[in-house]
Amino acid sequence: MDIDELFKVPKLPAGKRKLPDNPSMEMLKKLKMDTPSQPVPGPSNGNSSRRATVEEVADEDETMEDADVDFAPGGDADYFAEEDDEGRFFGSGLSSEQKEILNIFDNAGEGMQDDPDALSITSIRRMLLRFERAVNKNQDHRSKYPDDPTKFIDSEADLDSAIKGLLPLAQAPVLAYPELVRSGAIALLIGLLSHENADIVIDVVEVIHELTDEDVGNEGAEDEDEERSPEEALKILVEGLVENSILELLVDNLARLNESEESDRVGVFHIMGIFENILGFNPALATALVAKTSLFPWLLKRIEAKTHDENRCYAAELLSILLQNNQSNRLEFGKRDGVEICLKVLSQYRLRDPVNADETEFMENVFDALCSALNEEAIKTMFIASEGPDLLVLMMKEKLQSRSRAIKTLDYAMSGASGTAACEAFIDALGLKTLFSALMGKGSKKQKQNPATPASEDTAHILGVISSLFSNIPSESPSRVRLLAKFVESNYEKVDKLLQIREHATNRLRAAEADIATEKKELLATGEEVGDEEEDAWYLRRLDSGLFTLQTVDYILAWIAMEDDGIRGHLLLMLDRKSLSLKDITKTLRTFYDNVDETDPPASSASGDSERAPTQKEILAALIAALDPDM
């Protein structure tokens, strides 16, 4: 075999003109004019192959001015379009199709490249104008073609986009919110809450929820040059929302939306979020929200639902917020049969615990709502009529998660002179045995293993219940005798338990007193005066650091020492072992007496006669006099 023959270069086709090694541009132009046009060879497909011939090279050279993609290295569409000052070609390395795809993404992202922090008043006004035009266009099309959705579907899509385009305003509240109200766009936005398309309503709700968020605009809060703060801007927005009847419109949409649909369920969540945002900024609006809308019935019905979800939990939280520090809402809660509904909802947790953390939060919110309402005497009456004490005593016996909340609720129901009837109902429900079992920690392995554990929230509420019993149960009554008997049984073990709690509270208070003394000394060393404000702050610290527990325990000890000689003898013996006496108890009671609010109006007696029940201050004075006649 002849090797040279195998690698012999084939001869050029006859009749073809051969180009010199370095053809000039004039020669190429002349060649192009002389040569008939040939179709541009397409890309190869399948397994077919193409042979590079001089004819093809010539054709590609002829079309150089048209930048044929097949000639550029790698099919670079910009190979001939991009060059440097010296005429060298570089290109982007992308084909035409790839370049087109990138252009599409670039164009689509142009509207998203605006930095929210860089929003100017001009861009905000342009955004609001675009929104206004979209609203007017959609209204016009819907009025012209009310029965033909195909005629206004495009304008609806534009309106949807324009509404969502308002979300960046939340990043520049100082500039955007006043302009939003001034331009009238806020009225247009709220007006869309009555739109026929529920999806548009949900978009509006989402935007308002974002705009009213409590953390809105915090990124720019450090700018000292701004004329107004984000809080002031948010105030302008909230006032504008309320003036345009947003509360009523949002409540109307709660009944309109169908929570079986995912989008509607999210919309309901955002509506409740708006209520929470507005109330967090201005709690005074809680009264108007309840009085002017049908929100209460909706919330009560929502928490009664059999199936649990996040909206049910949110409804319970919102109910609790509306009842905080608001007497009119609490009374309205009672009129709407709220006490009965809450007790019915809570009864499901008598024999079982919540299945997860979300349901636990729901249960706690319902208990908190009930506790807030029980500050009113009328609600306490409804609570007794609905057999609330009986249900809560049963919860205390089961030792489930609801036990702690039940004790807390009983503390609220039985406190004050208006809690006398609740105290009687509690004893009639055989609550004393369960209450003192909880005080002694029976059934709690943790307390048995460590009897010196700090007074927990449960212990504080148990002491509160016992304190209310001594304050409200009439002397010489059978209920009073049963109460005192609990401290005598089992060789005065309940008295010993109270002294144990007292010792721990005293140790905590002693540590806090040392810190306060150091702070006071430092203030005096710098020449500053110690005023009433500082003294009040320190007193609150003492209460949190054991003084409140100490006062409650000594209040109970004073009652039992005054009413039963056997208890008094045992108490004196145990105090003497700790180098203490009744004077230490009276010292605590004097501090309690000095800080009781004298402006509290006297409550009426439980029997409803002309005699009034003694005030807390009067009771404390009588106890101090009984324990320390030398006062």
pLDDT tens-digit readout, 93-124: 666 666 666 666 555 544 444 454 467 899 99
| pLDDT over threshold 90, residue 257 | yes
Q: Residue 158 and residue 163: Cα distance in Å, rounded?
A: 9
**Cα pseudo-dihedral 451, 501, 361, 357, rounded to 10:** -10
pLDDT value at residue 21: 53
Using DSSP's 3-state secondary structure scheme, residue 1 falls into coil
Task: Kindly tell me the number of DSSP H helices and DSSP E strands found in the chain.
Answer: 31, 0
Q: How many degrees, rounded to 5, is the angle at CA 603 between CA 598 and CA 605?
A: 140
* Eight-class DSSP state of 63: T
Prediction pTM value: 0.76
The residue-averaged pLDDT of 465-469 equals: 96
pLDDT tens-digit readout, 312-351: 999 999 999 999 999 999 999 999 999 999 999 999 999 9
| pLDDT over threshold 90, residue 37 | no
Using DSSP's 3-state secondary structure scheme, residue 604 falls into strand
115: left (phi over 0), alpha (psi -120 to 50) or beta: beta
The residue-averaged pLDDT of 434-441 equals: 92
pLDDT value at residue 529: 77
| Exposure of 228 in the CB half-sphere (CA atoms within 13 A) | 14
Give the model's confidence band at 270: pLDDT under 50 very low, under 70 low, under 90 confident, else very high: very high
pLDDT tens-digit readout, 559-594: 999 999 999 999 999 999 999 999 999 999 999 998
Give the model's confidence band at 147: pLDDT under 50 very low, under 70 low, under 90 confident, else very high: confident
Q: Residue 505 and residue 510: Cα distance in Å, rounded?
A: 9
Give the model's confidence band at 33: pLDDT under 50 very low, under 70 low, under 90 confident, else very high: low
For residue 599, what are the contacts with CB-CB under 8 A and spacing of at least 6? none
Q: Residue 161 and residue 199: Cα distance in Å, rounded?
A: 12
Helices (H), 14-84: 25-34, 54-62
Q: Residue 46 and residue 23: Cα distance in Å, rounded?
A: 35
